[in-house]
């Protein structure tokens, strides 16, 4: 294995740690690469401790690191360092291939028949074509994702050394000194994360991706249980937030399956979106939130109704992200009637067909990255216009007037 391929594996592992909440910065990654080069790691136990000593910055990172190491490299994380470090320097691969019993097979003299982990390859594989073993591996990696929105200033304040003057605290301090001048009290606004709302299409056309997307929703709910809401869309709307709060991912999906009556059924996005906005979104769930829809855009009803509901959602939410599993496939164009109707009201249009796409989605939700793939290209916009003008969507109902667009922009800029 070449050094560039080895560095790629280590960088991919660091990326997995960052998505799990560990601050694996560039300096720490460089330190790990230097440690691997100095130790000439030929056994998993040495690689484990090389990464643990360089990538972890606090005690809370250790259990996350152990879970990420086991999931990324497909084996159990070592619990103790080796007695001696091999002195010979060879540029070989890092980790041993696992045998059918799940243990690493060693060659004579503690040397391992080592090979690169398949985790980096699985990151870019389509979730719909994975084998059973690959699907289990991806499930473990999806569970390590930590989707969370960025913080925003709230209306509440808290004492601080700098910032604006806090008149009530300053006056109380002066009264304690019988009205004598006292040191000015300062305050600053508290930061509060935005609410995250996930709408997952579980219709028949989304069946190959529904399991992975619900596990992504489970990871988001487990990260911030009180600030994350999860719903499923199909022929009806189902709230699965309570079911996804279960600690075990498999148990959470079983509970969610019991709560979803239209699993792998038809698609009525407009009716489901209207039910969500009438019952939940308009009453505060979607106000100022980051709303993420997972769907391929197939709509059995009138696309004009879906366009109207998406316009309502765009006025309420801080950001609307649409995740389409077909977005990352070559030659894709949003010609489906439902997708063409929703496209003008989206802030981000991203792929969701692979683990790498879901990792990029974590950055889009947090606002840390704005990749080019997150926005619609000129070709996609023209394709959507062709789909709209070809009769798939009623022109008058699907498009907006100049006054409506200006009103939507005023509403968008006034959202908290």
Structure tokens at 22: 């560990």
- Beta bridge pairs of residue 233: 201, 237
Average pLDDT over all residues of the chain? 78
Evaluate if residue 261 carries a pLDDT over 70. yes
DSSP for 202-225, please give it.
-SGGGHHHHHHHHHHHHHHHHHST
Average pLDDT for residues 345-371, to the nearest whole number? Answer: 86
Q: What is the dihedral of CA 268, 230, 66, 24, to 10 degrees?
A: 90
Average pLDDT for residues 300-320, to the nearest whole number? Answer: 93
Structure tokens at 181: 């001048």
Tens digit of each residue's pLDDT (9 = 90 or more) over 24-82: 888 888 888 888 777 755 667 777 888 888 888 888 788 888 888 888 876 554 444 44
Q: What is the pLDDT of residue 271?
A: 92
Higher per-residue pLDDT: 137 or 80: 137
Higher per-residue pLDDT: 311 or 381: 311
In the 8-state DSSP scheme, what is residue 229?
A: E
- The pLDDT-based confidence of 370 (bands split at 50, 70, 90) is low
Q: Chain centroid to CA 94: how far?
A: 28
**CA–CA separation, 5 and 141 (whole Å):** 21
Confidence (pTM): 0.66
- The pLDDT-based confidence of 400 (bands split at 50, 70, 90) is very low
Among 70-79, 336-345, 376-385, name the one with the lowest average pLDDT: 376-385
- The pLDDT-based confidence of 91 (bands split at 50, 70, 90) is very low
Q: Which of 9-13, 66-70, 195-199, 254-258 has the highest mean pLDDT?
A: 195-199
- Name the percent of the chain in helix, strand, coil, to the closest 5: 50, 15, 35
Bridge pairing between strands 290-294 and 196-201: parallel
Long-range contacts (CB closer than 8 Å, 24 or more residues apart) made by 30-38: 33/7, 36/6, 36/10, 36/94
**CA–CA separation, 393 and 270 (whole Å):** 13
Average pLDDT for residues 116-127, to the nearest whole number? Answer: 72
Bridge pairing between strands 290-294 and 237-239: unpaired
- The pLDDT-based confidence of 399 (bands split at 50, 70, 90) is very low
Higher per-residue pLDDT: 282 or 39: 282
- The pLDDT-based confidence of 256 (bands split at 50, 70, 90) is very high
**CA–CA separation, 211 and 358 (whole Å):** 13
Average pLDDT for residues 346-361, to the nearest whole number? Answer: 92
CB atoms within 10 A of CB 387: 23
Of 84, 91, 54, whose CA–CA distance to 69 is shortest? Answer: 54
What are the Cα distances from residue 335, in Å, to 330, 342, 379, 402? 14, 11, 11, 24
- The pLDDT-based confidence of 295 (bands split at 50, 70, 90) is very high
* Residue matched to tokens 């992504």: 216
Evaluate if residue 274 carries a pLDDT over 80. yes
Evaluate if residue 93 carries a pLDDT over 80. no
């Amino acid at each position: 294995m070449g050094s560039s391929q080895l560095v790629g594996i280590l960088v991919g592992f660091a990326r997995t740690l960052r998505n799990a909440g560990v601050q694996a910065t560039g300096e720490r990654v460089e330190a790990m690469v230097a440690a691997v080069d100095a130790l000439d790691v030929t056994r998993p136990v040495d690689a484990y401790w090389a990464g643990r000593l360089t990538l972890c910055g606090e005690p809370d990172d250790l259990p996350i690191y152990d879970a990420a190491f086991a999931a990324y490299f497909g084996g159990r994380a070592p619990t103790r360092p080796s007695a001696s470090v091999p002195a010979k320097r060879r540029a070989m691969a890092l980790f041993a291939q696992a045998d059918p019993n799940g243990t690493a097979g060693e060659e004579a003299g503690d040397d391992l028949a080592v090979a690169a982990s398949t985790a980096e390859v699985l990151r870019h594989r389509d979730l719909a074509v994975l084998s059973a073993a690959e699907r289990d591996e991806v499930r473990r990696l999806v569970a390590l994702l930590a989707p969370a929105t960025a913080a925003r200033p709230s209306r509440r304040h808290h004492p601080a050394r700098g910032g604006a003057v806090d008149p009530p605290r300053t006056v109380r301090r002066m009264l304690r000194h019988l009205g004598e001048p006292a040191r000015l009290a300062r305050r600053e606004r508290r930061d509060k994360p935005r609410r995250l709302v996930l709408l997952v299409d579980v219709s028949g056309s989304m069946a190959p991706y529904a399991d992975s997307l619900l596990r992504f929703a489970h990871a988001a709910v487990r990260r911030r249980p009180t600030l994350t809401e999860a719903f499923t869309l199909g022929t009806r709307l189902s709230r699965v937030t309570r079911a996804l709060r279960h600690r075990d991912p498999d148990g959470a999906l079983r509970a969610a399956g019991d709560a979803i009556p239209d699993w792998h059924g038809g698609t009525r996005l407009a009716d489901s979106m209207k039910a969500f906005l009438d019952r939940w979104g308009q009453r505060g769930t979607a106000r100022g939130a980051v709303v993420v829809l997972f769907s391929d855009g197939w709509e059995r009803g009138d696309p004009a109704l879906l366009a109207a509901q998406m316009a309502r959602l765009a006025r309420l939410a801080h950001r609307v992200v649409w995740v389409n599993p077909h977005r990352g496939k070559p030659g894709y164009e949003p010609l489906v009637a439902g997708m063409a109707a929703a496209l003008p009201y989206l802030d981000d249009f991203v792929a969701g067909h692979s683990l790498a796409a879901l990792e990029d989605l974590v950055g889009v939700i947090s606002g840390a990255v704005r990749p080019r793939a997150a926005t619609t290209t000129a070709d996609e916009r023209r394709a959507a216009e062709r789909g709209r003008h070809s009769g798939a969507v009623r022109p008058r109902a699907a498009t907006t007037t100049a006054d409506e667009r200006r009103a939507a922009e005023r509403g968008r800029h006034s959202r908290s």
